[in-house]
């Protein structure tokens, strides 16, 4: 298995697992029936750092550390693990809050245009796509993420936690739109909250390998004020074996720029009742997890509709090509709705409390 957000050995990761986390045997859908009402309870989890940890994250990402994350490779990781650095001081540990949110209707947030002709090349990037920085046990790494709301990005859930090869969590989260050559043309944006489906956190179910991430605002504005935002579709689907044109973007950890693959994706069944998108992505290695799969994409505005992000099956792929992505579905729609509303919890009748 090739981890797109690179993971560490058991000896290094053991100390950073979320406290109190155990598998609870939720159903594969993440929905539970409520008694005496037609409302559905959607099992969603919220991750957040406290104010002191958030401030430490801002201080952490110096130019040398962002540069180190940019140059990550499997070889450099192996070298680090031979003589792991001691952890200095307490490590940030995200607080996990279990939520119950009302279900929403799946909505298509995009329009249909013809896909671009197949190609693959390096680019400085798109304004809405950026490098998502984080640390595991003091080591800096990255995924890729894309802006889908005024102050919201989406990336892969395994960029926050996973079990490859053992349980781990990440911290010091930071998003850099259109990052390239260790420059930050649209600044550094820090995370206020993360929403992930409970079936992923309970058992790392790859069907739910996506996360809706709220970012802190700057000067009264969300990130999309500066970068624009992409639409997304929670309704797009293909029958097994059908194809569609896609534009896939990712930032490998050992690259100074983004890669884009304009290609054809095919719907494949990777296990019983689990269909995903598969496409050719030469050069897409560690760090490309969470990168968007666009269909359609407007080359005049450099924006498009996101169908999914690299991840899910084999955490996006066990080699640089092909790559995989889960289809965004009604579960993703529920997740984004909860993140948009800042849901703290809902009872069985759908009455909800919200984060301030």
Q: Which two structure tokens, joined as six digits, stand for 352?
A: 């909800």
Distance (Å, whole) CA 44 – CA 81: 34
Following DSSP, what letter does each residue of 322-347 receive, concatenated?
SEEEEPP-HHHHHHHHHHHHTEEEE-
Q: Which long-range contacts (CB under 8 A, 24 or more apart) does 315-318 make?
A: 315/1, 315/2, 315/3, 315/4, 315/5, 315/156, 315/158, 315/162, 315/164, 315/206, 315/209, 315/289, 316/2, 316/4, 316/156, 316/288, 316/289, 317/2, 317/4, 317/281, 317/284, 318/1, 318/2
Give the burial class of 16: count Cβ atoms within 10 A of its Cβ; 0-12 exposed, 13-18 middle, 19 or more buried. Answer: buried
**Alpha-carbon 194 to chain mean position:** 10
Q: Which two structure tokens, joined as six digits, stand for 45?
A: 């989890």
Question: CB–CB of 101/175 below 8 Å?
Answer: no
pLDDT by 10s per residue, the chain, length 356:
454 654 443 333 333 344 333 333 333 333 333 333 445 678 888 888 888 888 999 999 999 999 888 766 545 545 554 555 555 555 677 888 888 777 776 555 544 444 444 455 788 889 999 999 998 877 888 999 999 999 999 999 999 988 766 678 888 999 999 999 999 999 999 999 999 999 999 889 889 999 999 999 999 999 999 999 999 998 888 888 889 999 999 999 888 999 999 999 999 988 878 888 999 998 888 899 999 999 999 999 999 999 999 998 887 777 888 999 999 988 899 899 889 887 666 666 666 666 65
Distance (Å, whole) CA 309 – CA 205: 15
Distance (Å, whole) CA 163 – CA 167: 4
Helices (H), ranges, the chain: 10-13, 51-60, 63-70, 74-82, 198-203, 224-227, 330-341
Name beta bridge partners: 250: 259
Closest CA relative to residue 211, chosen from 308, 69, 346, 100? 308
What is the pLDDT at residue 155? 97
Give whole-number Cα distances, 51 to 25, 56, 92, 135, 186, in Å: 33, 9, 11, 18, 23
What is the pLDDT at residue 227? 95
What is the pLDDT at residue 70? 74
Question: CB–CB of 60/52 below 8 Å?
Answer: no
**Alpha-carbon 247 to chain mean position:** 17
What is the pLDDT at residue 109? 58
In the chain the domains, ranked by start, together with CATH numbers, are 10-354 (2.40.10.10)
Question: CB–CB of 202/162 below 8 Å?
Answer: no
Distance (Å, whole) CA 199 – CA 208: 7
Element (H, E) at 161: strand 161-163
**Torsion sign over Cα 13, 19, 24, 30:** negative
Strands 119-123, 129-136: pairing is unpaired
**Torsion sign over Cα 185, 190, 194, 200:** positive
- Residues with Cβ within 8 Å of 136's Cβ and at least 6 positions away in sequence, in order, are 7, 8, 12, 13, 16, 168, 169, 170, 171
What is the pLDDT at residue 72? 60
What is the pLDDT at residue 34? 33
């Amino acid at each position: 298995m090739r981890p797109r957000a690179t993971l560490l050995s058991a000896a290094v990761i053991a100390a950073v697992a979320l406290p109190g986390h155990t598998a609870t045997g939720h159903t594969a859908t993440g929905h539970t029936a409520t008694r005496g009402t037609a409302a559905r309870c959607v099992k969603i989890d919220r991750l957040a750092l406290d104010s002191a940890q958030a401030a430490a994250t801002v201080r952490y990402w110096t130019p040398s550390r962002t540069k180190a994350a940019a140059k990550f490779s499997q070889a450099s990781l192996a070298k680090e693990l031979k003589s792991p650095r001691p952890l200095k001081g307490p490590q940030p540990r995200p607080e996990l809050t279990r939520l119950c949110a009302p279900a929403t209707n799946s909505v298509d947030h995009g329009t249909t245009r013809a896909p671009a002709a197949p190609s693959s090349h390096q680019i400085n990037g798109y304004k809405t796509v950026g490098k998502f920085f984080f640390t595991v046990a003091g080591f800096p790494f990255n995924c890729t993420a894309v802006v889908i709301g005024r102050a919201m990005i989406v990336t892969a859930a395994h960029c926050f936690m996973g079990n490859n090869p053992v349980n781990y969590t990440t911290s010091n989260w930071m998003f850099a739109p259109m990052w390239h050559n260790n420059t930050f043309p649209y600044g550094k944006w820090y995370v206020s909250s993360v929403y992930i489906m409970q079936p992923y956190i309970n058992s790392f179910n790859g069907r739910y390998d996506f996360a809706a991430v709220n970012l802190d605002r700057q000067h009264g504005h969300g990130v999309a004020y500066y970068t624009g935002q992409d639409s997304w579709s929670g309704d797009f689907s293909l029958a097994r074996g059908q194809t569609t044109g896609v534009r896939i973007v990712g930032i490998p950890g050992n690259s100074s720029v983004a890669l884009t693959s304009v290609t054809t994706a095919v719907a494949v069944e990777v296990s019983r009742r689990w269909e995903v998108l598969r496409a050719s992505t030469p050069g897409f290695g560690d760090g490309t997890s969470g990168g968007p799969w666009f269909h359609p994409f407007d080359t005049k505005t450099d924006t498009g509709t996101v169908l999914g992000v690299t991840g899910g099956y084999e955490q996006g792929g066990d080699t640089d090509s092909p790559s995989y992505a889960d289809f965004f579905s009604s579960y993703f729609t529920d997740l984004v709705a909860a993140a948009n509303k800042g849901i703290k919890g809902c009872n069985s009748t759908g009455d909800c409390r919200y984060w301030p």
